Amino acid sequence: MVQSSYHRKNLAAAIAQQARQQLGSEGVDQLSLRQIARDLGVSPAAVYRHYPDKQALLAQLQETVSEEVQATLQVGVLVSSDATAMYRKMIQNILTLRQEQPLMVAFYLQGPLTLPQGLATVINLVNTANGRTTLPHQAASVWAFLIGVVAQPDCSLSAASVFAVCEHLLRPFTDSIGNDRD
């Protein structure tokens, strides 16, 4: 049994932290309020006072994990002033997350998958740097492709292939088929 030092008022935070750790190591199917209570050294009733059932805890975890994914996308992005380098770093971050935290990513994919504002901003910067206007569908297309890649843990696409597809998705349709080249 793991004993955590916390004040009764911080029990909800301790429960959420323990649940997040359990989610990352064992997955959502193995998440148990009773096990969390044992790990924290409290009664199950104490846990149930904060989270009446597993679904309530999962809703909180979904929000937490979504924030973690958004934050992970941003790591190391602003160290470069080159928009393309920023874009590639965001893509690398999501691929690394899939590799390092597969159970968390699987849980994230079960919730609402909103387009990260940071990704939309970086895509706009890439297009501006290349003299292009960002089309309304581009950021959503890139995000949908990336979600498709991370949803497949055994995906055989290399990082270079993922980058190439993501960069291709930013080119105007006419560039893709060669109609504007004379």
With tokens 């291709």, the residue in question is 168
> Quick check: 178 pLDDT over 90?
no
pLDDT band at 182, cuts 50/70/90? very low
| Residue 8 confidence (pLDDT) | 64
| Residue 136 confidence (pLDDT) | 85
* Amino acid letter for position 104: M
Is residue 182 situated within a structural domain?
no
Host domain of residue 88: 64-177
Indicate whether 48 and 68 sit together in one domain. no
Mean predicted confidence (pLDDT) in 57-85? 93
Residue 43's domain is classified under what CATH number?
A: 1.10.10
Indicate whether 82 and 38 sit together in one domain. no
With tokens 């979600």, the residue in question is 147
* Amino acid letter for position 65: V
pTM of the model: 0.83
pLDDT band at 7, cuts 50/70/90? low
State how far the alpha carbon of 6 is from the alpha carbons of 12, 58, 141, in Å: 10, 22, 44
Indicate whether 13 and 99 sit together in one domain. no
**Percentage of the residues of the chain whose pLDDT score is greater than 70:** 90
Phi-psi region of 100 (alpha: psi -120 to 50; beta: other; left: phi over 0): alpha
Is residue 2 situated within a structural domain?
no
Indicate whether 101 and 165 sit together in one domain. yes
Q: For residue 140, give every residue at least 6 positions away whose Cβ sits within 8 Å of its Cβ, in sequence order, or none.
A: 115
Is residue 87 situated within a structural domain?
yes
Indicate whether 40 and 78 sit together in one domain. no
> Quick check: 96 pLDDT over 60?
yes
CA pair distance 43, 74, nearest whole angstrom: 39
Q: How many domains does the chain have?
A: 2
| Residue 181 confidence (pLDDT) | 44
> Quick check: 38 pLDDT over 80?
yes
Q: Which residue has the higher pLDDT, 23 or 181?
A: 23
